[in-house]
């Protein structure tokens, strides 16, 4: 194997300069200088054909944990020359780096229901990863929230596969427009942290295709450059050595042409993994840091012994090289300036530009207003004294980087913990944002003590309005915070429920602000003193400013819940399993579909969110056309802003399939964010194709267009349907 000296390795990965470019989103040439997959493969073949077996194996093998500039690097080669490729976390920003943006989390981006903003988020992340010389961004995460207690669900886009597919696609297009390879993860059935490396996800083929595979299919359509397989087993076989999900489904059925890499330490074999479709082992070690590897010399030996064909190794290297060439990373790509494991040695490279503005805009666009009695919000000049109560309003006591990978669990919550994080360059807390926005004559009193209930009551009773801040956190398996990675329960942290109850006893004007990784239980929900409930999610470094924009009416809230908030934990269809086999017995009834099918009323349904204005829906129509093998259905609806404030509405389109299809009561198949001035009207069109109207047939193992009478429902949420209309195929 052609291994390089450390100095030569550094020279190769530090030897190019930045040159902005735009990459086609779907893999086809768009006239902007981008490459199709076929063109990328032609370039890959020209160089891989000149590589020795050892060089090809090096391209598929990570150099080892804590031995490289990035969290993962492949081996470079000389004659032919091919660089070491840098792979770096995370889905929301650059991990282990300074002078980068700590943006909104995936679950919060999904709350915006805003395609344009989600794509812009991908674009600015791509710019930062590129400018730091990263070839693969290890994101987005498109794992669906199966259980609200899943520790890493906040990294993804919620409980609905259609929403996750749209958000994933827009993120990928944004990232790859900057020439950075997006890596979707964690393929597949990796939906809890408990026993994540040993448990087996048992999913029937129809459910696999219609729910869990759906966002991956949309990612492949978007031209995603890489896929990461997860830690878990699928049907008893490790995901990273499972021939069915890697070869049969991903590469053959979906037509994915890039590389499949292992999650860090998720490779468990040489021969089985290679033959089953694993193309890159990361970070290279058998046990992270042991200096051994399942690939490297072991893979070379397996080829010499005839247990893995050299054609398979050639395919591995072609897939990796093709993704590199497709993103045109061979053309003046910036040098790698990260130094993950020795950060003080990294050069200062400023990449943030005006991305703080985008983070703030997305943060405010993603705030979900759950309640607003007596129109207490937005805050006006009527309130001369405001009490801010709760540690979630204030700074992190341990400091911004005081705990590994954001695992403090104290102070203001602006992201969960684990490898899906980035360091805060700064953090605007809620009290910072509120004070910066308030008029001088308004008095602010505060306490960050969650347990001194008498102090909280005293402040609340003396103020015109009390804003109580509470939170619930979670994160990745390798860190445990107060007994949690997966959430032990759905209660608020730090005495939150008792704090809310105490303040509600002392004040008639209470506003709750809850930053959470997912749904929480609300035992105080019927309290009449609680006039407003604001749900900002995990909004990153500009969290306090984004919140203030909503509280004071500078931005009219338009965020929507990307998951269901239930009355009781038992109401959810799936929970964290401690068994060796995690059986997906809910089948197609994930999230709101289960609540619909079982006629369970949630506290706040999927897609729910209030505005400071009011919208009415009128004049629904539908046209269905069949042209040979293609189907096109277009539904139109008129939306009127009948309130007095300009704002954005997010109409959502759900489809009920014919009874013979055996689908849930209704499925999300469209949404649009539309800005409408007060008194104005806009028409919104939804277009549905065969992809949206088909079911997976287990007998033929193919998608089959459903036939019969469908119904389109358009509304402001999954339960607030404003108009319905049937059509027939």
Name the residues annotated as catalytic. 263
Give Cβ neighbours of residue 239 (< 8 Å, ≥ 6 apart).
186, 187, 188, 189, 190, 229, 230, 231, 232, 233, 245, 266
Q: How many residues are recorded in the chain? A: 729
Bridge partner list, 683: 638
DSSP helix/strand/coil, 169: helix
| SS3 call for 52 | coil
Distance from C-alpha of 23 to C-alpha of 35, rounded to nearest angstrom: 7
CA max distance for the chain: 81
Structure tokens at 112: 């915006």
d(CA 468, CA 457): 11
Dihedrals phi, psi of 136, to nearest 5 degrees:
-120, 120
Sheet with 667-671, edge to edge strand ranges: 667-671, 652-656, 709-715, 721-728
Q: Which of 423, 433, 690 is nearest to 546 (CA)?
A: 433
∠472-110-590 over CA atoms, to 5°?
80
CB atoms within 10 A of CB 596: 22
Residues β-bridged to residue 446: 388
Consecutive H or E run containing 436:
helix 430-437
Separation of alpha carbons 449 and 452, rounded Å:
6
DSSP assignment, residue 180?
P
Distance, CA of 436 to CA of 25 (rounded, Å): 40
Is the separation of the CB atoms in 258 and 227 below 8 Å?
Answer: yes
The residues pairing with 468 across neighbouring beta strands, listed in sequence order, are 389, 512
Dihedral sign from CA coordinates of 350, 91, 413, 435: positive
* CB distance 427 to 412 below 8 Å: yes
Q: Roughly how many angstroms between the first and final C-alpha of the chain, as a whole number?
A: 59
- Distance, CA of 265 to CA of 290 (rounded, Å): 11
Give the closest residue to 295 by CA, choosing from 256, 343, 241. Answer: 241
d(CA 270, CA 28): 34
Q: Which of 127, 126, 155 is nearest to 143 (CA)?
A: 155
Give yes or no for a contact between 578 and 199, defined as CB atoms under 8 angstroms apart: no
Contact predicate 18/334, CB 8 Å: yes
Contact indicator for 433, 547 with CB cutoff of 8 Å? yes
DSSP state of 565: B
Q: How far apart are CA 504 and CA 344, in angstroms?
A: 48
Both tokens assigned to 389? 């109560």
Query: What are the backbone angles phi and psi of residue 638, rounded to the nearest 5°?
Result: -100, 135
Estimate the share of the chain in helix, then strand, then coil, as percent rounded to the nearest 5: 30, 20, 50
Closest listed residue to residue 14, CA positions, set 325, 242, 333: 333
| CB atoms closer than 10 angstroms to residue 397 | 11
- Residue pair 295/75 in contact (Cβ under 8 Å)? The answer is no
Distance, CA of 286 to CA of 295 (rounded, Å): 9
**Distance from the Cα of residue 460 to its chain's centroid:** 37
């Amino acid at each position: 194997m052609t291994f390089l000296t450390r100095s030569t390795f550094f020279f190769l990965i530090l030897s190019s300069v930045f040159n902005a470019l735009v990459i086609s989103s779907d893999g086809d040439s768009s006239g902007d200088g981008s490459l199709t997959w076929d063109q990328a493969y032609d370039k890959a073949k020209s160089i891989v054909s000149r590589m020795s077996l050892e060089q090809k194996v090096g391209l598929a093998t990570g150099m080892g944990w804590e031995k490289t500039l990035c969290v993962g690097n492949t081996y470079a080669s000389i004659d032919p020359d091919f660089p070491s490729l840098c792979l770096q976390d995370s889905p929301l920003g650059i991990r282990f780096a300074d002078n980068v943006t700590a943006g909104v989390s995936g679950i919060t981006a999904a709350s915006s229901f805003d395609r344009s903003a989600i794509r812009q988020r991908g674009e600015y992340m791509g710019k930062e990863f590129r400018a730091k010389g990263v070839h693969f961004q290890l994101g987005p995460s498109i794992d669906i929230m199966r259980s609200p207690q899943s520790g890493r669900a906040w990294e993804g886009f919620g409980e609905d596969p259609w929403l996750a597919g749209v958000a994933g696609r827009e993120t990928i297009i944004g990232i790859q427009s900057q020439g950075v390879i997006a890596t979707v993860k964690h393929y597949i059935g990796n939906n809890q942290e408990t026993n994540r490396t040993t448990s087996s996800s048992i999913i029937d083929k129809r459910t696999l295709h219609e729910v869990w595979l759906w966002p991956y299919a949309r990612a492949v359509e978007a031209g995603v450059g890489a896929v990461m397989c997860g830690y878990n087993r699928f049907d008893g076989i490790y995901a990273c050595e499972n021939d069915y999900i890697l070869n049969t489904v991903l590469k053959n059925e979906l037509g994915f042409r890039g590389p499949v890499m292992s999650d860090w330490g998720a490779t468990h074999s040489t021969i089985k993994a290679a033959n089953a479709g694993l193309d890159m082992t990361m970070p290279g070690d058998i046990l992270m840091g042991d200096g051994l590897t399942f690939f490297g010399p072991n893979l070379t030996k397996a080829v010499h012994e005839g247990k893995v064909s050299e054609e398979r190794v050639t395919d591995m290297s072609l897939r990796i090289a093709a993704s590199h060439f497709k993103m045109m990373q061979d053309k003046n790509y910036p040098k790698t300036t990260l130094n993950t494991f020795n950060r003080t040695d990294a050069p200062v490279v400023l990449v943030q530009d005006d991305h703080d503005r985008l983070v703030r805009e997305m943060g405010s666009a993603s705030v979900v207003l759950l309640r607003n009695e007596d129109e207490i919000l937005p805050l006006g000049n009527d309130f001369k004294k405001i009490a801010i109560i709760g540690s979630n309003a204030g700074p992190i006591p341990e400091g911004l980087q005081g705990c590994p990978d954001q695992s403090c669990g104290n102070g203001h919550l602006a992201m969960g913990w684990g490898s899906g994080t980035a360091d805060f360059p700064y953090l605007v807390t809620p009290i910072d944002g509120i004070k910066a926005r308030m008029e001088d004559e308004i008095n602010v009193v505060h306490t960050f003590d969650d347990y001194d209930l008498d102090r909280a009551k005293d402040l609340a009773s003396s103020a015109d309005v009390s804003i109580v801040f509470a939170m619930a956190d979670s994160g990745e398996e390798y860190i445990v915070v107060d007994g949690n990675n997966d959430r032990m329960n759905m209660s608020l942290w730090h005495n939150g429920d008792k704090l809310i109850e105490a303040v509600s006893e002392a004040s008639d004007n209470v506003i709750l602000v809850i930053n959470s990784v997912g749904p929480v239980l609300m035992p105080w929900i019927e309290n009449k003193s609680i006039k407003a409930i604001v749900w900002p999610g995990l909004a990153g470094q500009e969290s306090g400013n984004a919140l203030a924009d909503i509280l004071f009416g500078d931005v009219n809230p338009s965020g929507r819940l990307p998951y269901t908030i239930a009355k009781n934990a038992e109401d959810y269809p799936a929970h964290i399993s401690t068994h060796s086999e995690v059986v997906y017995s809910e089948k197609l009834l994930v999230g709101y579909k289960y609540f619909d099918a079982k006629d369970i009323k949630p506290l706040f349904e999927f897609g729910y969110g209030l505005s400071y204005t009011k919208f009415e829906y009128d004049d629904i129509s539908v046209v269905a056309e069949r042209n040979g093998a293609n189907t096109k259905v277009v539904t139109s609806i008129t939306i009127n802003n009948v309130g007095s404030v300009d704002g954005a509405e997010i109409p959502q389109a759900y489809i009920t399939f014919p009874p013979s299809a055996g689908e849930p009561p209704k499925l999300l198949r469209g949404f649009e964010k539309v800005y409408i001035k007060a008194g104005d009207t806009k028409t919104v069109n939804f277009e549905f194709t065969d992809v949206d109207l088909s079911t997976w047939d287990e007998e033929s193992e193919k998608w089959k267009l459903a036939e019969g009478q469908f119904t389109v429902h358009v509304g402001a949420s999954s339960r607030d349907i404003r108009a319905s209309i049937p059509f027939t195929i």
